[in-house]
Structure 1
Amino acid sequence: MKQLVGVLLAVLISACASNQASVYQQLGGEAKVAEIVDNFILEIGMDPIMLCYFEDSNIDRFRDKMQEHLCMLTGGGCTYTGDTMEQVHGGMKITEAHFNHGVDLFIRAMDKAGVPHRLQNQVLAQMAPTREDMIYR
């Protein structure tokens, strides 16, 4: 009997561990991702350093693709249908300093959306691998 209880307990613990919410779910799903992206766009629009990178951008497309990309990266089950990060950022010659400044603006966007710092770190960790495809292209 004790073995059966032990096995059942192990199965329950395993099931709980495998059902952990994705970062996307922890954020609050589609509505929160949209809020973060809209905040980010506002931050860019008020920032003379970053605005020059977006002068010729279709902001509606940027919003749509950024939401898809953030959803995909954070485990929301979305499919990103945009261009690769290398294609999008090619020719921009984004420096390390400008990239870091963009991250600061994204953090402000998450702050304004009320995302806790612990969760912000998880989001940034999911986004970090795209860095190499963006800078010095």
Structure 2
Amino acid sequence: MTIRLAAFMLALLVSSASAGARADDALYQQFGATDGLTKIVDDMYVNVLADPRTAPYFENAPIKRIKRKLVEQICVLLDGPCVYTGRSMKRTHEGHAIDRAAFNAVVEDLQAAMDKNGVPFHAQNKLLAKLAPMYREVQDRE
């Protein structure tokens, strides 16, 4: 009886440990984990702030905070160990008159940053596929 109880307890512990495990983070690792994501986002913002199509959207914006939140968000999308603590995409972008051209320009600036940091093309596509539906949340519907 005690062997069965011990086996049951062991199975319960293994089950609990497995339930708390993260999903496969291989994609997150292809981006260089948090350090790599931070470099990518930093480079993206160099591009965004120099890009006449996107720079006006970031005048007087809290860039340091935005970059931290974007690293969190991308980390979550890539099944990394992060938690996104920012506002919803809709709330963050409402009233900024963001159209498809501006959204696409930011995507181009992100792609250039990912290229610069050696992110494999297939990994870039996986992230972009996760980001694309967000356009519905950030577009201006006025």
Count residues in correspondence: 119
Q: Cα RMSD between the aligned structures?
A: 1.4
Structure 2 residue runs of 5 or longer lacking an equivalent are 1-22
| TM superposition shift of 1:27 | 1.7
1:31-89 CA-to-partner distances (Å, cap 9, x unmatched) read 11011100111001211220100002111101111111111111102111011100111
1:80-116 CA-to-partner distances (Å, cap 9, x unmatched) read 1011100111001111111111111111111111111
Q: Residue type matched to 1:41 in 2?
A: Y
Task: Write the distance in 2 (CA, Å) between the matches of 1:20 and 1:91.
Answer: 37
Task: Write the distance in 1 (CA, Å) between the matches of 2:53 and 2:133.
Answer: 23
Alignment map for 1:42-121 (pairs within 5 Å): 42-121=46-125
| TM superposition shift of 1:20 | 4.7
Alignment partner, residue 125 of structure 1: 129
Larger-Rg structure? 2
1:97 counterpart SS class: helix
Alignment partner, residue 13 of structure 2: none
- Whether the 8 Å CA contact 2:75–2:82 is kept in 1: the answer is yes
Q: Which runs of 4+ in 1 moved over 6 A?
A: none
Q: When the two structures are superposed, what TM-score results if normalisation uses the length of structure 1?
A: 0.81
Q: When the two structures are superposed, what TM-score results if normalisation uses the length of structure 2?
A: 0.78
2:54 counterpart SS class: helix
2:84 counterpart SS class: coil
Alignment partner, residue 12 of structure 2: none
| TM superposition shift of 1:129 | 2.4
Alignment partner, residue 20 of structure 2: none
Q: Residue type matched to 1:92 in 2?
A: H
Q: Residue type matched to 1:52 in 2?
A: P
